[in-house]
Amino acid sequence: QGQLVESGGGVVQPGRSLRLSCAASEFSFSGYAVHWVRQAPGKGLEWVAVMSYDGKYIFYIDSVKGRFTISRDNSKNMVFLEMNSLRPEDTAVYFCARDRDYHDISGGFDVWGPGTVVAVSS
């Protein structure tokens, strides 16, 4: 089925940057889109960004456009989320998730990582 593991979370001051990583294994990574989804403390799920399998298509939620950048390295089975100008409202657990459709984006996230915690606080 596959595995995803996030890393790079931590405590950071407002306005600073953080880079999250998502390592994939046990599936053909280069054929699947990967999403980032976040969950603020005690809140529901919020989709953040997606990059297609080939990097050609990228979409973001409006609240992170211009601040966050998603990228991937298919040679290393990795996806990244570069987060700049962080705000307290970005505090959340960040999950990476695989889109179940090969070479497409359909919105069924069938593999999830355990998440990494990002806390933005002065």
Partner 1 sequence: DIVMTQSPLSLAVTPGEPASISCRSSQSLLHSNGYNFLAWYLQKPGQSPQLLIYLGSNRAFGVPDRFSGSGSGTDFSLKIRRVEAEDVGVYYCMQSLQTRFTFGPGTKLDFK
At residue 111, φ and ψ (nearest 5 deg) are: -135, 130
Binding residue for partner 1, selected from 5, 77, 82, 100, defined by CB under 8 A:
100
48 vs 84: CA distance, rounded Å: 14
DSSP assignment, residue 26?
S
**Residue 82 interacting with partner 1 (CB under 8 A):** no
**Residue 27 interacting with partner 1 (CB under 8 A):** no
| The one-letter amino acid at 94 | Y
Binding residue for partner 1, selected from 29, 68, 80, 109, defined by CB under 8 A:
109
- How far CA 5 is from CA of 9, 67, 69, 87, 105, in Å, comes to 12, 23, 19, 24, 20
Binding residue for partner 1, selected from 26, 73, 89, 110, defined by CB under 8 A:
110
**Residue 1 interacting with partner 1 (CB under 8 A):** yes
Binding residue for partner 1, selected from 22, 115, 116, 120, defined by CB under 8 A:
115
1 vs 52: CA distance, rounded Å: 19
Binding residue for partner 1, selected from 20, 80, 86, 113, defined by CB under 8 A:
113
Please give the residue ranges that form the binding site for partner 1 (CB under 8 A): 1, 35, 37, 44-47, 50, 57, 59-62, 95, 97, 100, 105-110, 112-115
